[in-house]
Amino acid sequence: MTEQLPKAFLRRMEDMLQDEYTAFLKSYENPRHFGLRVNTLKISVEEFLKINPFRLTPVPWTENGFYYEETDHPAKHPYYAAGLYYLQEPSAMAPAALLPVTPGDYVLDLCAAPGGKATELGSKLKKQSLLVANDISNSRAKALQRNIELCGIPNSFITNEVPASLAKAMPEFFDKILVDAPCSGEGMFRKEPAVAKTWDEDRPLFFAKLQRECVSAAISMLKPGGLMLYSTCTFAPVENEGTVSFILEEYPDMELLEIDGYKGFTPGNPEWGNKNPELSKCLRIFPHRIDGEGHFMALMRKKGSSPQTLSDHKTKQDKEAGKLLSEFFADKEIPFPVDRIEVRSSNVYCLPPADNHFKGIRFLRNGLFLGELKKNRFEPSQPLALALKADDFPSRLSLSPQDERIGRYLKGETLLIEKGECTRDKGWQLVCVDNFPLGFGKLVNGTLKNKYPAGWRIH
């Protein structure tokens, strides 16, 4: 596809890479790589490999990433509908893997759609503390919400804001921030040839301006002592070493840290920025050096330290909601903190543990949507099903991936159930594949009424 690449782009890459340019150019004749990242919030890598039906080889820079064969079509397997893995370009797995998030951190993914990196950050939090996943585009933020819900991440706020507005509401709030900034996308030309067709020489400068706005907002939201990982999927120096140079010049309290990356990654080049030798701590990913597309990363720390000052957000308990939820879960304990359950109109949410002071922010979803209160009963949501484990619910139907009823369930069809297949012979059932939840159904006289939402169904 080299003939499809812009001539000005190729001239600049030849100047940047010199002796490696021929190998770089040759990499575009190779097919793109396909990646699958195991969602460790739902299943360990070891357990997944025991049930894995695909031809996988490890991605060397992340513990839970794998290459798969395109003809295996993992998006069509019911394990995908259960959120056991996320399909992600292998190089794009690196930023979330290299930002050291631990349970208890308050984490922001500033430019998060469609959610590949945010879902990995959420899995690292192990359902503790808070993930804020933001995107400026409303349509992209809706795709982000869908993927957060699919992966079963309960402790999230999904916001649709410009970075500056978010920064006003959340000053020095986060322990860890990922800024996977909008960019000219040069690293994705092989994966998405259409991006190459829209590229021109002015695009890197246009995006560099946006990137500086994003990182400035992010730095104001980062606690002293907090970490920020800046990443792009472009090769353009002005967007990479250039943006990091801007940060170091404008924000003297920010310092670059060494990243323990993969041996095929390349250090940043100080000559491509403001000649600051610290820029060699950045990492570049080139497609002729690894099996993946182009990326750039820089890990930075805000100097100083700050104590953990956030209080656990608790709500005034709604007695009716508590009663109906208790009835719904029957002899099982409600698997969420009841003092963080909130009812808005008839909708029931479980809020993450964070101060409730984000006024004026556009939320698509703040907390886990549990379901609705309807005429003295509780109607569960699809996000609730995907946030549960099979044994969290009193009655379930677990089918094998080979059972043809799995496909029919995911299409929204009614199922016939044999006596004894469900834990209980009537009422709400958690429908599972190999004991991994897919959604809900309601069993009446041997017939399972399908409650899989229309917007989630396969066609």
The per-residue b/e assignment along 245-262, b for 16 or more CB within 10 angstroms, e otherwise, is bbbbeebeebebeebebb
The per-residue b/e assignment along 293-328, b for 16 or more CB within 10 angstroms, e otherwise, is bbbbbbbbbbeeeeeeeeeebebeebeebbebbeeb
What one-character DSSP code corresponds to residue 307? -
Helix (H) / strand (E) containing 158: strand 156-159
Question: Does residue 111 have a known ligand-binding role?
Answer: yes
What one-character DSSP code corresponds to residue 31? P
Taking a C-beta distance cutoff of 8 angstroms, is the pair 373, 343 a contact? yes
Question: Does residue 185 have a known ligand-binding role?
Answer: no
Please count the other Cβ atoms lying within 10 Å of the Cβ belonging to residue 277. 7
Question: Does residue 455 have a known ligand-binding role?
Answer: no
Chain-centre distance of CA 248, in angstroms? 28
Active site members: 233
Chain-centre distance of CA 161, in angstroms? 17
Question: Does residue 380 have a known ligand-binding role?
Answer: no
Q: Give the strand order in the sheet containing 347-350.
A: 341-344, 347-350, 368-373, 378-380
Give the contacts of 189 (CB within 8 A, at least 6 positions apart): 1, 4, 5, 9, 28, 195, 196, 199
Question: Does residue 115 have a known ligand-binding role?
Answer: yes
Question: Does residue 180 have a known ligand-binding role?
Answer: yes
Chain-centre distance of CA 391, in angstroms? 25
Question: Does residue 114 have a known ligand-binding role?
Answer: yes
Question: Does residue 270 have a known ligand-binding role?
Answer: no
Please list the alpha-helical segments (H only) found in 28-130: 45-51, 78-81, 94-98, 116-125
Tokens in use for 29? 């004749």
Taking a C-beta distance cutoff of 8 angstroms, is the pair 384, 348 a contact? no
Question: Does residue 432 have a known ligand-binding role?
Answer: no
Q: Binding site residues, as ranges? A: 111-117, 135, 180
Q: Binding site residues for S-adenosyl-L-methionine, as ranges? A: 111-117, 135, 180
